[in-house]
Amino acid sequence: MSSDFHIRHVPHKEIDLAKWDNCISTAPNGLIYGYSYYLDHMAKQWDGLVLNNYEAVMPLIWRKKYEVLYCYQPPFMQQCGWFGSPLTMHTCSILFERIRSFCRYGDFMFNNHNQLINESYITRPLTNFVLDLSHGYSAIRSRYKTDLLSNLNKAAKLSLSYQTSVEIDSAINQYRFHYGARTPHVKQNQYRHFSKLCKQLISVGQCLIREVSDEQHYPLASILLLKDEHRIYNMMNTTTEKGKKTAANHFLIDKVLHEFAGQNLLFDFEGSDLPGVKSFYENFGPVNYPYFHWHYNRLPFYLKWLKK
Protein backbone atom coordinates (compact mmCIF):
# COMPACT_ATOMS: atom_id res chain seq x y z
CA MET A 1 0.00 0.00 0.00
CA SER A 2 1.22 3.47 -0.80
CA SER A 3 2.59 5.49 2.11
CA ASP A 4 0.45 8.40 0.84
CA PHE A 5 -2.77 7.05 2.29
CA HIS A 6 -6.01 8.75 1.25
CA ILE A 7 -9.60 7.51 1.01
CA ARG A 8 -11.81 9.92 -0.86
CA HIS A 9 -15.51 10.00 -1.67
CA VAL A 10 -15.91 10.12 -5.46
CA PRO A 11 -19.31 11.00 -6.97
CA HIS A 12 -20.46 8.54 -9.62
CA LYS A 13 -19.92 10.88 -12.57
CA GLU A 14 -16.28 11.39 -11.55
CA ILE A 15 -15.37 7.70 -11.09
CA ASP A 16 -12.84 6.28 -13.54
CA LEU A 17 -14.86 3.17 -14.37
CA ALA A 18 -11.96 1.40 -16.11
CA LYS A 19 -9.77 1.76 -13.02
CA TRP A 20 -12.69 0.80 -10.78
CA ASP A 21 -13.38 -2.42 -12.68
CA ASN A 22 -9.67 -3.25 -12.87
CA CYS A 23 -9.51 -2.98 -9.08
CA ILE A 24 -12.44 -5.41 -8.72
CA SER A 25 -10.92 -7.80 -11.29
CA THR A 26 -7.48 -7.92 -9.64
CA ALA A 27 -8.60 -7.77 -6.00
CA PRO A 28 -8.19 -11.02 -4.05
CA ASN A 29 -11.76 -10.51 -2.82
CA GLY A 30 -13.27 -9.23 -6.09
CA LEU A 31 -16.94 -10.14 -6.58
CA ILE A 32 -19.26 -9.67 -9.52
CA TYR A 33 -21.50 -7.36 -7.48
CA GLY A 34 -18.70 -4.77 -7.31
CA TYR A 35 -18.27 -4.21 -11.06
CA SER A 36 -19.56 -0.91 -12.41
CA TYR A 37 -21.89 -2.63 -14.90
CA TYR A 38 -23.52 -4.59 -12.09
CA LEU A 39 -23.92 -1.52 -9.93
CA ASP A 40 -25.27 0.52 -12.85
CA HIS A 41 -28.02 -2.03 -13.46
CA MET A 42 -29.02 -2.75 -9.88
CA ALA A 43 -28.43 0.58 -8.10
CA LYS A 44 -30.16 3.71 -9.29
CA GLN A 45 -27.56 5.91 -7.59
CA TRP A 46 -24.10 4.98 -6.39
CA ASP A 47 -20.86 6.73 -5.56
CA GLY A 48 -17.53 5.29 -4.50
CA LEU A 49 -14.95 5.40 -1.76
CA VAL A 50 -11.54 5.14 -3.43
CA LEU A 51 -8.15 4.47 -1.85
CA ASN A 52 -5.37 6.46 -3.54
CA ASN A 53 -5.25 5.57 -7.26
CA TYR A 54 -7.93 2.83 -7.08
CA GLU A 55 -5.84 0.51 -4.90
CA ALA A 56 -9.12 -0.33 -3.18
CA VAL A 57 -12.73 0.72 -3.69
CA MET A 58 -16.10 0.50 -1.97
CA PRO A 59 -19.47 1.34 -3.55
CA LEU A 60 -21.84 3.63 -1.67
CA ILE A 61 -25.34 2.79 -2.90
CA TRP A 62 -27.79 5.48 -1.85
CA ARG A 63 -31.30 6.87 -2.06
CA LYS A 64 -33.16 9.87 -0.73
CA LYS A 65 -36.43 9.76 1.16
CA TYR A 66 -38.02 12.99 2.36
CA GLU A 67 -34.67 14.65 1.60
CA VAL A 68 -32.88 12.18 3.90
CA LEU A 69 -29.96 10.42 2.20
CA TYR A 70 -29.35 6.79 3.23
CA CYS A 71 -27.27 3.83 2.05
CA TYR A 72 -28.71 0.37 1.45
CA GLN A 73 -28.00 -3.04 -0.11
CA PRO A 74 -30.05 -3.71 -3.29
CA PRO A 75 -31.62 -7.09 -4.10
CA PHE A 76 -29.50 -9.55 -6.11
CA MET A 77 -26.34 -8.03 -4.65
CA GLN A 78 -25.54 -10.24 -1.70
CA GLN A 79 -22.41 -8.47 -0.48
CA CYS A 80 -20.08 -5.62 -1.40
CA GLY A 81 -17.93 -3.71 1.05
CA TRP A 82 -14.22 -2.98 0.63
CA PHE A 83 -12.47 -4.50 -2.40
CA GLY A 84 -8.71 -4.44 -2.93
CA SER A 85 -5.92 -3.67 -0.48
CA PRO A 86 -6.52 -5.41 2.87
CA LEU A 87 -8.18 -3.47 5.65
CA THR A 88 -6.16 -2.29 8.63
CA MET A 89 -7.39 -0.71 11.85
CA HIS A 90 -6.43 2.69 10.44
CA THR A 91 -8.25 1.97 7.16
CA CYS A 92 -11.36 0.90 9.07
CA SER A 93 -11.36 4.06 11.13
CA ILE A 94 -11.08 6.34 8.09
CA LEU A 95 -13.53 4.21 6.08
CA PHE A 96 -16.26 4.41 8.70
CA GLU A 97 -15.65 8.13 9.15
CA ARG A 98 -16.20 8.62 5.39
CA ILE A 99 -19.34 6.47 5.40
CA ARG A 100 -20.90 8.25 8.37
CA SER A 101 -20.11 11.67 6.96
CA PHE A 102 -21.90 10.71 3.73
CA CYS A 103 -25.11 9.24 5.16
CA ARG A 104 -26.70 9.17 8.61
CA TYR A 105 -28.39 5.82 8.03
CA GLY A 106 -26.70 2.78 6.51
CA ASP A 107 -27.29 -0.88 5.72
CA PHE A 108 -24.13 -2.56 4.40
CA MET A 109 -23.11 -6.13 3.59
CA PHE A 110 -19.32 -6.38 3.88
CA ASN A 111 -17.58 -9.27 2.10
CA ASN A 112 -15.76 -12.18 3.71
CA HIS A 113 -12.32 -10.53 3.40
CA ASN A 114 -13.57 -7.60 5.51
CA GLN A 115 -13.32 -9.67 8.69
CA LEU A 116 -11.56 -6.87 10.53
CA ILE A 117 -14.84 -4.96 10.46
CA ASN A 118 -16.51 -7.88 12.20
CA GLU A 119 -13.80 -7.83 14.86
CA SER A 120 -13.87 -4.05 15.36
CA TYR A 121 -17.55 -3.11 14.98
CA ILE A 122 -20.94 -4.56 15.84
CA THR A 123 -21.90 -6.66 12.82
CA ARG A 124 -24.02 -9.74 12.17
CA PRO A 125 -22.22 -12.61 10.38
CA LEU A 126 -24.33 -14.25 7.68
CA THR A 127 -23.83 -17.66 6.10
CA ASN A 128 -22.44 -18.04 2.60
CA PHE A 129 -21.41 -21.48 1.37
CA VAL A 130 -18.64 -21.79 -1.21
CA LEU A 131 -17.25 -24.88 -2.95
CA ASP A 132 -13.86 -25.07 -4.69
CA LEU A 133 -14.38 -26.56 -8.16
CA SER A 134 -10.69 -26.85 -9.03
CA HIS A 135 -10.19 -30.20 -7.29
CA GLY A 136 -12.30 -32.09 -9.81
CA TYR A 137 -15.61 -33.90 -9.57
CA SER A 138 -14.40 -36.99 -7.70
CA ALA A 139 -13.00 -34.84 -4.90
CA ILE A 140 -16.19 -32.76 -4.81
CA ARG A 141 -18.44 -35.81 -4.68
CA SER A 142 -16.34 -37.37 -1.90
CA ARG A 143 -17.61 -34.58 0.39
CA TYR A 144 -21.29 -35.29 -0.30
CA LYS A 145 -23.35 -36.29 2.73
CA THR A 146 -25.29 -39.56 2.90
CA ASP A 147 -28.65 -37.82 2.48
CA LEU A 148 -27.53 -36.21 -0.78
CA LEU A 149 -26.13 -39.48 -2.15
CA SER A 150 -29.41 -41.21 -1.31
CA ASN A 151 -31.39 -38.56 -3.18
CA LEU A 152 -29.05 -38.74 -6.18
CA ASN A 153 -29.62 -42.51 -6.33
CA LYS A 154 -33.36 -41.84 -6.24
CA ALA A 155 -33.11 -39.29 -9.07
CA ALA A 156 -30.93 -41.62 -11.16
CA LYS A 157 -33.84 -44.07 -11.46
CA LEU A 158 -36.23 -41.47 -12.91
CA SER A 159 -34.71 -40.66 -16.34
CA LEU A 160 -34.34 -36.96 -15.55
CA SER A 161 -32.94 -34.69 -18.25
CA TYR A 162 -30.34 -31.94 -17.68
CA GLN A 163 -30.20 -29.20 -20.31
CA THR A 164 -29.05 -25.67 -21.12
CA SER A 165 -31.50 -22.82 -21.57
CA VAL A 166 -31.30 -19.17 -22.61
CA GLU A 167 -34.78 -18.25 -21.37
CA ILE A 168 -33.85 -15.69 -18.75
CA ASP A 169 -37.34 -14.31 -18.14
CA SER A 170 -38.76 -17.82 -17.81
CA ALA A 171 -36.18 -18.68 -15.12
CA ILE A 172 -36.84 -15.42 -13.26
CA ASN A 173 -40.63 -15.78 -13.48
CA GLN A 174 -40.48 -19.35 -12.17
CA TYR A 175 -38.41 -18.15 -9.24
CA ARG A 176 -40.86 -15.33 -8.52
CA PHE A 177 -43.83 -17.68 -8.73
CA HIS A 178 -42.40 -20.22 -6.29
CA TYR A 179 -40.38 -18.01 -3.92
CA GLY A 180 -41.44 -14.39 -4.44
CA ALA A 181 -43.48 -14.41 -1.23
CA ARG A 182 -40.26 -14.95 0.75
CA THR A 183 -38.90 -11.60 -0.45
CA PRO A 184 -41.84 -9.16 -0.67
CA HIS A 185 -39.40 -6.24 -0.47
CA VAL A 186 -38.11 -7.08 -3.98
CA LYS A 187 -40.19 -5.00 -6.37
CA GLN A 188 -41.16 -5.71 -9.97
CA ASN A 189 -38.80 -3.06 -11.35
CA GLN A 190 -35.88 -4.69 -9.49
CA TYR A 191 -36.64 -8.03 -11.15
CA ARG A 192 -36.78 -6.14 -14.44
CA HIS A 193 -33.38 -4.53 -13.86
CA PHE A 194 -31.90 -7.91 -12.96
CA SER A 195 -33.35 -9.39 -16.16
CA LYS A 196 -31.69 -6.63 -18.22
CA LEU A 197 -28.39 -7.31 -16.49
CA CYS A 198 -28.66 -11.04 -17.22
CA LYS A 199 -29.46 -10.36 -20.88
CA GLN A 200 -26.30 -8.27 -21.16
CA LEU A 201 -24.20 -10.94 -19.43
CA ILE A 202 -25.56 -13.92 -21.36
CA SER A 203 -24.16 -12.47 -24.57
CA VAL A 204 -20.62 -12.68 -23.13
CA GLY A 205 -21.03 -16.06 -21.42
CA GLN A 206 -21.47 -14.69 -17.91
CA CYS A 207 -25.09 -15.73 -17.41
CA LEU A 208 -25.92 -19.43 -17.52
CA ILE A 209 -29.23 -21.25 -17.11
CA ARG A 210 -29.56 -24.97 -16.47
CA GLU A 211 -32.79 -26.94 -16.16
CA VAL A 212 -34.02 -30.41 -15.24
CA SER A 213 -37.16 -31.96 -16.69
CA ASP A 214 -38.79 -35.41 -16.64
CA GLU A 215 -39.49 -37.79 -19.52
CA GLN A 216 -42.62 -35.82 -20.43
CA HIS A 217 -40.51 -32.61 -20.57
CA TYR A 218 -42.25 -31.27 -17.47
CA PRO A 219 -40.00 -28.67 -15.75
CA LEU A 220 -38.78 -29.84 -12.33
CA ALA A 221 -35.95 -27.48 -11.36
CA SER A 222 -33.92 -24.60 -12.76
CA ILE A 223 -30.91 -22.53 -11.79
CA LEU A 224 -29.78 -19.12 -13.02
CA LEU A 225 -26.05 -18.60 -12.57
CA LEU A 226 -23.76 -15.63 -13.04
CA LYS A 227 -20.05 -16.05 -13.70
CA ASP A 228 -16.91 -13.95 -13.47
CA GLU A 229 -13.19 -14.72 -13.44
CA HIS A 230 -13.34 -16.19 -9.95
CA ARG A 231 -16.79 -17.59 -9.21
CA ILE A 232 -20.03 -19.07 -10.40
CA TYR A 233 -22.89 -17.51 -8.44
CA ASN A 234 -26.13 -19.31 -7.67
CA MET A 235 -28.53 -16.39 -8.14
CA MET A 236 -31.88 -18.15 -8.55
CA ASN A 237 -32.51 -21.81 -7.85
CA THR A 238 -36.09 -23.03 -8.25
CA THR A 239 -37.76 -26.39 -7.64
CA THR A 240 -41.37 -27.15 -8.60
CA GLU A 241 -43.64 -29.21 -6.34
CA LYS A 242 -43.15 -32.23 -8.59
CA GLY A 243 -39.42 -31.57 -8.60
CA LYS A 244 -39.30 -31.79 -4.81
CA LYS A 245 -40.76 -35.30 -4.98
CA THR A 246 -38.15 -36.47 -7.50
CA ALA A 247 -34.98 -34.98 -5.90
CA ALA A 248 -34.65 -32.88 -9.05
CA ASN A 249 -32.73 -30.07 -7.37
CA HIS A 250 -30.18 -32.47 -5.87
CA PHE A 251 -29.74 -33.87 -9.39
CA LEU A 252 -29.53 -30.36 -10.92
CA ILE A 253 -26.81 -28.95 -8.66
CA ASP A 254 -24.81 -32.17 -8.84
CA LYS A 255 -24.89 -31.89 -12.64
CA VAL A 256 -23.81 -28.24 -12.50
CA LEU A 257 -20.87 -29.12 -10.24
CA HIS A 258 -19.93 -31.99 -12.57
CA GLU A 259 -20.10 -29.66 -15.60
CA PHE A 260 -17.73 -27.07 -14.14
CA ALA A 261 -15.54 -29.33 -11.99
CA GLY A 262 -11.81 -28.98 -12.61
CA GLN A 263 -12.03 -25.28 -13.46
CA ASN A 264 -10.21 -22.73 -11.31
CA LEU A 265 -13.48 -21.35 -9.95
CA LEU A 266 -15.49 -21.26 -6.76
CA PHE A 267 -19.13 -22.25 -6.77
CA ASP A 268 -20.94 -19.70 -4.62
CA PHE A 269 -24.21 -21.06 -3.23
CA GLU A 270 -25.20 -17.51 -2.11
CA GLY A 271 -26.34 -18.40 1.40
CA SER A 272 -28.30 -19.29 3.30
CA ASP A 273 -29.45 -18.83 6.89
CA LEU A 274 -32.91 -20.24 6.11
CA PRO A 275 -32.79 -23.62 7.91
CA GLY A 276 -34.12 -25.76 5.02
CA VAL A 277 -31.94 -24.10 2.39
CA LYS A 278 -28.90 -24.14 4.66
CA SER A 279 -29.17 -27.88 5.36
CA PHE A 280 -29.69 -28.60 1.65
CA TYR A 281 -26.52 -26.73 0.64
CA GLU A 282 -24.53 -28.26 3.50
CA ASN A 283 -25.14 -31.68 1.93
CA PHE A 284 -22.69 -30.75 -0.86
CA GLY A 285 -19.80 -30.27 1.59
CA PRO A 286 -19.08 -26.56 1.04
CA VAL A 287 -17.13 -24.19 3.29
CA ASN A 288 -18.83 -21.28 5.02
CA TYR A 289 -17.34 -17.93 3.95
CA PRO A 290 -19.46 -15.58 6.09
CA TYR A 291 -20.16 -12.00 5.14
CA PHE A 292 -21.06 -9.23 7.58
CA HIS A 293 -24.16 -7.10 7.96
CA TRP A 294 -23.47 -3.68 9.45
CA HIS A 295 -26.36 -1.37 10.22
CA TYR A 296 -26.47 2.02 11.87
CA ASN A 297 -29.10 4.70 12.36
CA ARG A 298 -27.99 8.18 13.33
CA LEU A 299 -31.16 9.92 12.21
CA PRO A 300 -32.76 12.40 14.60
CA PHE A 301 -35.37 10.77 16.86
CA TYR A 302 -38.23 12.33 14.89
CA LEU A 303 -36.98 10.68 11.67
CA LYS A 304 -35.95 7.24 12.93
CA TRP A 305 -39.31 5.80 11.92
CA LEU A 306 -38.43 6.42 8.24
CA LYS A 307 -35.95 3.51 8.23
CA LYS A 308 -35.96 0.58 10.61
State pLDDT tens for residues 60-103.
Answer: 999 988 788 999 999 999 999 999 999 999 999 999 999 999 99
Going by their DSSP bridges, the two strands 56-65 and 68-71 should be labelled as antiparallel
pLDDT of residue 65: 85
Indicate whether 270 belongs to any domain: yes
Q: Which residues of the chain have pLDDT under 70?
A: 1-4, 301-308
Both 277 and 143 in one domain: the answer is yes
Both 279 and 300 in one domain: the answer is no
Both 37 and 92 in one domain: the answer is yes
Both 142 and 277 in one domain: the answer is yes
pTM over cut 0.75: yes
Indicate whether 16 belongs to any domain: yes
CATH number at residue 200: 3.40.630.30
Indicate whether 1 belongs to any domain: no
60's enclosing H/E stretch is strand 56-65
Alpha helices (H) in 60-145, listed in sequence order? 89-102, 115-120, 137-141
Indicate whether 223 belongs to any domain: yes
Both 161 and 187 in one domain: the answer is yes
Both 271 and 302 in one domain: the answer is no
Both 117 and 142 in one domain: the answer is no
Range of the domain at 100: 7-126+291-306
Contact 156, 250 (CB under 8 A): no
Both 25 and 120 in one domain: the answer is yes
